[in-house]
Amino acid sequence: MKVEVNRETFDDEVLNSTMPVLVDFWANWCTPCKLVEPIVDDIAKKYSSKLKVCSINVDKAGELATSYNIRSIPTLLIFKHGEPVDSITGALPRDLILRKLNQHLH
C-alpha cells in the first residue's frame, strides 16, 4: 500500500522506517508522473513485505522536494536507514525501475 506523506509525517514514515522506502515525488499536472504511477502502485503491492512506498505531492510539500534537491518529476528516491541511497528520474520503463530498486533490497 502506498502512503501519502507530507512534512508532518515524513520523518515517521520515511526517515524512521525500519525497511527501505521508495518515495515518489509527483504532481497532478505532471503527465510523466501519471505514466509512472501504476508502476509505483504495483511495486507497493508486490513488494509490501520488504519495501515501504510513499508518495509526496510536490505542490503540497514543496519544501521536501527542495530539501532533497528534486529538480524534475517524477523522481523516485530510495531511502535506507533514513538516508537517500539512489534516485530514478523520469518516466522510465518498469523493468529499469525494478532493476535499480532490486539493487537495494538485498
* Active site positions, annotated: 30, 33
Scored b (16 or more CB within 10 A) or e, 47-69 reads: beeebbbbbbbbeebeebbeebe
Q: Which residue do the cell numbers 525494478 mark?
A: 98
